[in-house]
Amino acid sequence: MGRHNAFTFPYTFFRQSAAQVIPELQSYGFTGINLALNYHASRDFLLRQGPALEYLADGFHYYAPNRDTYPAQAVQPDPKDCLTDNQMLDDVIEVASARGFEVNAWAVFMHNSAIGFQYPKLTVTNCFGNHFLSELCPSSPEIAGYISGLSNDLASRGITALAIESLHFHGAHHGEHHERFFLEMSEITGFLLSLCFCASCIANFVGDGAALRERAAQLLRPSLDEGDEWLGVELTKENLASIVGEEILGYLISREEIVAQRYREVKAVTAAYGLRTKFIDQAPLIPTSVNAPLAKSWQVGIDNTLIDQAVDIYEPLMYRASAEEVGALASHYRSEISSEITAILRPTYPDNDSQEKLGAKAKALHDSAVHDIDFYLLDAMRPRDLEWIKSAILSS
């Protein structure tokens, strides 16, 4: 039957005890949870425990950090962005351990406005010197220290695995509150506008990063002043090289290598604790990714050949409307990735509206030899969604 984890916010355990929640989840066929222990800001209409509109604080750590795990130069979470004790997490680990139930630490690494506003020089900085304060730059040594400290801290808590989300770069339109871009923007303009040229990224590049930064700014100004000349032009490495120059390809490789290095560092931490790493892969959400999203991963600094060697499990968000599309995605990952694969499905709107559709998606995954399926998001599920999940697990 495989493993089946529920992505879960801490609110589940703020409103009910682990002794109540975990047996209930096991009755539906779940074998564990991916518990959000470091997460970004959101407003969520939660349903499973009764209607509740809840707000998650940006970059919040849902435990009391052990600051001894952070290297000397590392950025550390501010005390205001952390719980003051570990009661919730300790209770969950204790009950789960007694019942043979997995608890994976789900952490959002680089999408963190709390740290970004405190340390703007450590955020993604574009060719105009604009700081994307919600996006930490993985090239920064201080942020590398934060990644190390966070990973060591979570790995020491008695978890089963570390579920890594957002340990890469992001696009121009990634997740700020009430964003306003009052211009029609091509994929190429959006990419160049959000490409990081911070001091660390430039230092990691063997070429002339400062000159490349000026070249990007020069190219962007006409599109921002008058109109975007690249509308309708596909964002590919070949088109970027044609527009910016061949040196852009080396710059992209340098950032892919630094992201892969951060994954290798996390893997070294988890391996020391005997844990596994899960890569929460958001490539299927990249615009125009369709059924071959791994071909688009470079846009966020991911070289799948390198990341495949640095993690234990690929866990793509297979958010598609039909079973056929889910099956095509699964086949794509099976053909490209050697790591174990766990699919993430949403049993809810906008992906699903019936027990039959969810069951068909689970069957499509099994037919593609993907037997581990996680479900997003427990807190927002209705009772019927849990029944649909149970049926899908039992029938697939």
Task: Inform me whether the pLDDT recorded for 239 exceeds 80.
Answer: yes
Write the secondary structure of 77-143 as one string of H (helix), E (strand) and C (coil): CCHHHECCCCHHHHHHHHHHHHCCCEEEEEEECCECHHHHHHCHHHEEECCCCCEEEEEECCCCHHH
Quote the CA–CA distance of 322 and 132 in Å, as a whole number.
35
pTM of the model as a whole: 0.96
- Position 174 scores a pLDDT of 64
37-48 pLDDT per residue, tens: 999 989 999 999
The DSSP secondary-structure symbol of 317 reads B
Q: Across residues 11-39, what is the average pLDDT? A: 97
Percent of the chain at pLDDT > 70 equals: 99
Can you list the domains of the chain with their CATH numbers? 5-112+132-169+258-395 (3.20.20.80)
> Where does 153-221 show beta strands of DSSP type E?
161-165
pLDDT of 177 higher than 90: no
pLDDT at 176: 66
Residue 179 structure tokens: 């964003």
pLDDT tens digits, 179-229: 788 889 999 999 999 999 999 999 999 999 999 999 999 999 999 999 999
User: Measured in Å, how far apart are the chain's first and last C-alpha atoms?
Assistant: 8
Average pLDDT of 97-124? 97
pLDDT band at 79 (very low <50, low <70, confident <90, very high): very high
Per-residue confidence (pLDDT) for residue 289, from 0 to 100 = 78
Q: Look over the chain and give the mean of its residue pLDDT values, rounded to a whole number.
A: 96
Residue 175 has a pLDDT of: 60
Q: What pLDDT is stored for residue 173 in this prediction?
A: 77
Is 138 exposed, middle or buried (CB count within 10 Å of its CB: 0-12, 13-18, 19+)?
Answer: buried
pLDDT average, residue stretch 64-83: 97
pLDDT digits (tens, 9 = 90+) for 340-367: 999 999 999 999 999 999 999 999 999 9
Helix (H) or strand (E) holding 11, with range, is: helix 11-15
Task: Give 321's Cβ-side CA count (13 Å radius).
Answer: 2
- Which two structure tokens, joined as six digits, stand for 8? 């879960």
- Rounded mean pLDDT, 21-43: 96
